[in-house]
């Protein structure tokens, strides 16, 4: 029993690595600027510009999504963020993951849908008329939320 507690405490203090050595080597080969590489290595949240920089550097989407899912984000994504990412040709899979993590962050950061201005937990509601049915689940990105494709509304 005590050994389990000590093991759990040791893991909590050292943190779990998001990437194995081979994955880290692949990321390091992409010549990322030092601040972005440090974020990846130390499991810190990525912002939208980081996602663009990773795309430009050729880091595989699977690694970016893995980082987003393991670390999360520390912001609420905006329509402008999504537009910038799409313009930079960041994949729908990465954008969807960022939106999902942004939604999770919003859920942890605000008291509730009515006190925070969020409509039924939909982070896009402040930007769209709620009756139109917009939101992450129907914004047109594939993956675990949408039904694929882009919709012009």
Kindly list the domain boundaries of the chain, sorted by start residue.
19-138
The pTM is what?
0.64
In tens, the pLDDT along 60-92 reads 999 999 999 999 999 999 999 999 999 999 999
Average pLDDT, the chain: 75
Q: Is the pLDDT of residue 98 over 50?
A: yes
Query: Of 107, 30, 34, 87, whose CA–CA distance to 64 is shortest?
Result: 30
Q: Using pLDDT thresholds of 50, 70 and 90, give the confidence band for residue 4.
A: low
Q: What are phi and psi of 27, to 5 degrees?
A: -65, -45
Tokens standing for residue 100: 């999902």
What's the pLDDT score for residue 131?
40
Query: Of 114, 76, 124, whose CA–CA distance to 98 is shortest?
Result: 76
What's the pLDDT score for residue 18?
82
Q: Is the pLDDT of residue 35 over 70?
A: yes
What's the pLDDT score for residue 91?
97
Distance CA 94, CA 133 (A): 23
Q: Is the pLDDT of residue 50 over 60?
A: yes
In tens, the pLDDT along 105-130 reads 988 765 544 444 444 445 554 454 34
């Amino acid at each position: 029993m005590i050994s389990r507690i000590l093991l759990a405490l040791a893991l909590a203090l050292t943190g779990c690595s998001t990437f194995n050595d081979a994955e880290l080597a692949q990321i390091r080969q992409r010549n990322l600027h030092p601040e972005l590489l440090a974020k990846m290595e130390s499991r810190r949240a990525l912002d939208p510009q980081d996602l663009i920089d990773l795309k430009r550097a050729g880091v595989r989407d699977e690694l970016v999504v893995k980082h987003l899912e393991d670390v999360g984000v520390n912001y609420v994504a905006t329509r402008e963020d999504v537009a910038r990412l799409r313009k930079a040709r960041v994949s729908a899979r990465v954008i969807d993951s960022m939106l999902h993590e942004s939604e999770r962050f919003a859920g942890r950061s605000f008291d509730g849908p009515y006190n925070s201005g969020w409509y039924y937990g939909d982070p896009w509601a402040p930007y769209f008329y709620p009756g139109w049915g917009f939101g992450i689940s129907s914004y047109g990105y594939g993956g675990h939320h949408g039904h694929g494709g882009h919709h012009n509304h």
